[in-house]
Each structure stands twice: as structure tokens, then as C-alpha cells.
């Protein structure tokens, strides 16, 4: 199980990231685009994914880890339960979300 501190440490370890509030909760940005947000509950992470189809696949494959809410219908965003992931899986999920949102120049420097 991971914590908000783990999310913060891993997210801020990615290139050119910053933490800012979004809807009153901690969110992580690469330049001007968000790539992760801790929900109000404090134990759920909001992450962008490549498509709504990918979101549905994640939720279907691992409903104990990934879920969604009606608020996110129509958005390529998935919710992740902290209790269902370890630090390595969290790092992979955050890096994937970061890659989706990072500008090409930043991404090129990271993926050398």
C-alpha cells in the first residue's frame, strides 16, 4: 500500500514536475499540464490514461485497483486505490501518466 507521501516523492522525481492544488487537493503537473491528483478521500489517485477504452480495460481487468465514477464519464481518466498498489506499480502508473502529458521536448530529454 502506498501513501500520499509516496505519490508526492515519485511524482516530483519526474522531470520538470511541480505540485499545485487542484480542487483543493494536491496535484502534480509537468509544465502546465496535470498528470496526477490525489482525491479528497486522500487514498485515491486520479490519473489520465490514453483513452476511454483503456480506462474501461483497466477497470475490467483489475476492479480492486482501478475504478471510475460518473463524474469522470466521457473522460480518459481512471481512479487508483492506494491500498491496491505498491511503490513499483505506482511509479509505473505515474510515469505513464507523465508521458501522456509531458511536452515533446521534456519527453525527449527524459527518454534518452
Mean pLDDT computed over every residue of the chain: 96
Are 40 and 4 a contacting pair, CB within 8 Å? no
Task: State pLDDT tens for residues 25-34.
Answer: 999 999 999 9
Q: What is the CATH number of the domain that holds 33?
A: 3.90.1150.30
The span from the CA of 15 to the CA of 51, in Å, is 24
Kindly give the residue spans of alpha helices, DSSP state H, lying in 13-63: 52-61
Residue 44 lies in a domain: yes
11: left (phi over 0), alpha (psi -120 to 50) or beta: alpha
Task: State pLDDT tens for residues 40-67.
Answer: 999 999 999 999 999 999 999 999 999 9
Q: Which domain holds residue 31?
A: 4-104
- Average pLDDT score over residue span 67-73: 97
Residue 109 lies in a domain: no
- Average pLDDT score over residue span 58-83: 98
Task: State pLDDT tens for residues 86-111.
Answer: 999 999 999 999 999 999 999 988 87
Residue 112 lies in a domain: no
Total of domains in the chain: 1
Residue 110 lies in a domain: no
Amino acid at each position: 500500500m502506498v501513501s500520499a507521501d509516496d505519490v508526492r516523492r515519485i511524482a516530483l522525481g519526474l522531470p520538470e514536475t511541480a505540485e499545485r492544488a487542484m480542487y483543493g487537493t494536491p496535484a502534480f503537473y509537468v509544465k502546465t499540464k496535470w498528470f496526477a491528483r490525489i482525491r479528497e478521500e486522500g487514498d485515491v489517485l486520479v490519473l489520465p490514461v490514453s483513452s476511454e477504452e483503456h480506462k474501461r480495460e483497466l477497470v475490467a481487468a483489475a476492479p480492486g485497483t482501478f475504478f471510475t465514477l460518473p463524474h469522470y464519464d466521457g473522460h480518459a481518466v481512471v481512479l487508483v486505490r492506494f491500498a491496491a498498489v505498491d511503490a513499483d506499480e505506482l511509479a509505473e502508473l505515474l510515469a505513464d501518466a507523465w508521458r501522456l502529458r509531458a511536452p515533446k521536448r521534456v519527453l525527449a530529454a527524459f527518454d534518452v
